[in-house]
Amino acid sequence: MINKRLIQAVPESKQAVRDQVLLQWGSLIANLIILFTFAFVLEALWKNQLNALRLSCAAVLIFGSLVVRWFCASAASRKSFEASRSVKQILRRQILEKLLRLGVSYREQTATAEIVQIAVEGVDQLETYFGAYLPQFFYSMLAPLTLFAALSWISLPSALALLFCVPLIPIAIAAVQTFAKKLLSRYWGQYASLGDSFLENLQGLTTLKIYQADEAMALKMDVEAEHFRKITMRVLTMQLNSIIIMDWVAYGGAALGVFLAAAQLRSGAISLAQALAIIFLSAEFFIPMRQLGSFFHIAMNGMAASDKIFQLLDLPEPSEKTEIITEIHPTIEIQNLGYQYQPDQTVLKNISTAFPFGSLIAIVGESGSGKSTLAKILTGQNQNYSGHVRLGSLELNQIRETSLMKTVTYIGHSSILFKGTVRDNLLIGNPHADDSQLWTVLEQTRLADFLRSEQGLDTILLEKAANLSGGQIQRLALARALLHDTPIYIFDEATSNIDVESEADILSQIHQLTRQHLVILISHHLTQVQHADQILVLEQGSLKEVGTHEDLLKYNGVYADLWHTQKQLENGREEVNA
């Protein structure tokens, strides 16, 4: 019932829990004083012995205790709030730091949607565990012992009977725990997968509408939601059943206390005030444990979530990388490179080649031949490769991530721009750039005129730059990449799906970059790569051909086939257009 690892993960929580238990205990003592005083007032009233002095003493005592109880209760709830706030902060920081340590290759080990679920919903679930369950756990043991100590002076048999009934509640809790743990783990699994599907379908709603597949997808989600509804109902049934058992124990125990007090009063063993005190306090014996039972189910949910958090925190991290690239003009050398996403699927096989600085290297091949996989290896996103990849004199997977990021810039086909101004987005490339440098790259990428007609560098970009065209997004991403000014640039289909004008502008920039940098260009359009210094042709993960455009046409192999096929298609298109 106590997850040691979770508490050790947030050591600061211990003090907060201790404070809350003490404050709750203070509130209990105040309550005891109120109830005892009340019992004595009632007895005095019954015996007609209530005079002004006694009444005012009782009133002062009750009022003073009420003030103490109010103070303890409000301080405890403030502590509870502070504890849950700091727990959430600490765990989210740990998740973030873990992701930073996993680095750009985190997706080799986990999915982004899962991280979002764990970091947001999963951590929220732990609020009750630290803020309410843990203090209640200790308080619910301290409270019956305190009450026993107070009542044993009045009637030992009643105090003993009540004390022995209290453990029946945790026994009932423990009985459901094994079953509850399995059920909650399945509940969380289904919750995460429903969340994934929901997010994916929501993001792809337009596509689903275009293909009129939204209804079919909605039915599929209905099935998933129905499974989730069923498991949620099972969780709730389990929780309600155990609450009923706990209520039976609590009310049964309190009734026993009342019965014993009445019996002892009748036999003259105790006074009326003592009997009243036992009756008032019988319920108090069970309230803390009963409350623990209610928190327990929410806390179990949190513990199931914490398993997922620890799975993420336990992911193996890439080994410590110490090397820093010092060459100003690094080359890339690849030897017997191999890569697999899954053990039985070889995506790259035995590739050996070299990319000299100052050259334009093109990588071509049919879809799925492994071009992007190679680009991701060169940018550190895919780290578990076999063979060697050397950047200058250093092995790539030994290079510190910050150093690699200062050396290689990757521009993919759907670049991400962030909500904010154009300036904010450009400064990501180089935080120290001044406005004139920003305008220079915007001129180079031919965005300057457009932006001048808007609000210049202060033009606001919506989420995913929804207020820019596809071509403008890619040109702005290129401007940001130019500001980054690294010796190596990798363009992975950076001009696919954009207008001809933007494509031409970007290609012209790529060619201008070449002599001062090492540029790797991945493209399906062979016309874009025909002037490359070297063209690598991949086929099913193997390097089939290497050479210039002319060499490869003469060789009359895979590249020549691709070239002629594309030419025929283009000619066919021109004829249709004519």
Ligand X SMILES: Nc1ncnc2c1ncn2[C@@H]1O[C@H](COP(=O)(O)OP(=O)(O)OP(=O)(O)O)[C@@H](O)[C@H]1O
Q: Extract the tokens encoding 354.
A: 């070299």
Nearest distance from C-beta of residue 546 to ligand X, angstroms: 16
Total residues contacting ligand X (rule CB under 6 A)?
10
Identify which range of 11-19, 259-267, 365-373, 468-476 contacts ligand X by CB under 6 A.
365-373
Asked if residue 384 binds ligand X (CB under 6 A), the reply is: no
Nearer to ligand X, 413 or 423 (CB): 413
Nearer to ligand X, 128 or 369 (CB): 369
When binding is defined by CB under 6 A, the residue of 65, 80, 136, 372 that contacts ligand X is 372
Asked if residue 412 binds ligand X (CB under 6 A), the reply is: no
CA 354, CA 365: separation in Å to the nearest integer? 18
Nearer to ligand X, 157 or 368 (CB): 368
Nearest distance from C-beta of residue 510 to ligand X, angstroms: 18
Asked if residue 70 binds ligand X (CB under 6 A), the reply is: no
When binding is defined by CB under 6 A, the residue of 98, 297, 371, 549 that contacts ligand X is 371
Nearer to ligand X, 43 or 493 (CB): 493
When binding is defined by CB under 6 A, the residue of 97, 368, 458, 516 that contacts ligand X is 368
Nearest distance from C-beta of residue 372 to ligand X, angstroms: 3
Asked if residue 111 binds ligand X (CB under 6 A), the reply is: no
Question: For the chain, what is the total number of helices (H) and then of strands (E)?
Answer: 21, 12
Among positions 146-205, residues that touch ligand X (CB under 6 A) are: none
Nearer to ligand X, 511 or 525 (CB): 525
Nearer to ligand X, 212 or 367 (CB): 367
Nearest distance from C-beta of residue 409 to ligand X, angstroms: 18
Residue with token string 């990428």 = 445
Sorted by sequence, the CB contacts under 8 Å of residue 205 that are 6+ apart come out as 214
Identify which range of 197-205, 302-310, 360-368, 395-403 contacts ligand X by CB under 6 A.
360-368
Nearer to ligand X, 343 or 431 (CB): 343
Asked if residue 84 binds ligand X (CB under 6 A), the reply is: no
Give the CA angle between residues 531, 537, 540 to the nearest 5°. 155
Nearest distance from C-beta of residue 535 to ligand X, angstroms: 14
Q: Report the C-alpha dihedral over residues 443, 444, 447, 448, rounded to 10 degrees.
A: 0
Instruction: Decide if 347 contacts 541 (C-beta within 8 A).
Output: yes
Return the number of other C-beta atoms located less than 10 Å from residue 193's C-beta: 16
Asked if residue 136 binds ligand X (CB under 6 A), the reply is: no
CA-closest candidate to residue 231, choices 192, 195, 194, 184: 184
Asked if residue 383 binds ligand X (CB under 6 A), the reply is: no
Helix axes 272-313 and 13-46, enclosed angle (nearest 10)? 160
How do beta strands 534-539 and 542-547 pair? Answer: antiparallel
CA 187, CA 237: separation in Å to the nearest integer? 13
Nearest distance from C-beta of residue 532 to ligand X, angstroms: 17
Q: Extract the tokens encoding 292.
A: 């623990």
Asked if residue 347 binds ligand X (CB under 6 A), the reply is: yes
Q: Extract the tokens encoding 421.
A: 């101004």
Asked if residue 495 binds ligand X (CB under 6 A), the reply is: no
Asked if residue 370 binds ligand X (CB under 6 A), the reply is: yes
Asked if residue 367 binds ligand X (CB under 6 A), the reply is: yes
Enumerate the H helices of 204-317 as residue ranges: 205-210, 214-267, 272-313
Residue 328 CA from chain centroid, whole number: 38
Phi, psi of 352 (to 5 degrees): -130, 125
Nearest distance from C-beta of residue 99 to ligand X, angstroms: 17
CA 38, CA 53: separation in Å to the nearest integer? 15
Q: What is the DSSP string of 62-112?
A: HHHHHHHHHHHHHHHHHHHHHHHHHHHHHHHHHHHHHHHHHGGGGGGT--H
The 8-class DSSP code of residue 514 comes to: G
Asked if residue 487 binds ligand X (CB under 6 A), the reply is: no
When binding is defined by CB under 6 A, the residue of 63, 153, 341, 418 that contacts ligand X is 341
Asked if residue 369 binds ligand X (CB under 6 A), the reply is: yes
The 8-class DSSP code of residue 546 comes to: E
Which residues lie near ligand X (CB under 6 A)?
341, 347, 365, 367-373
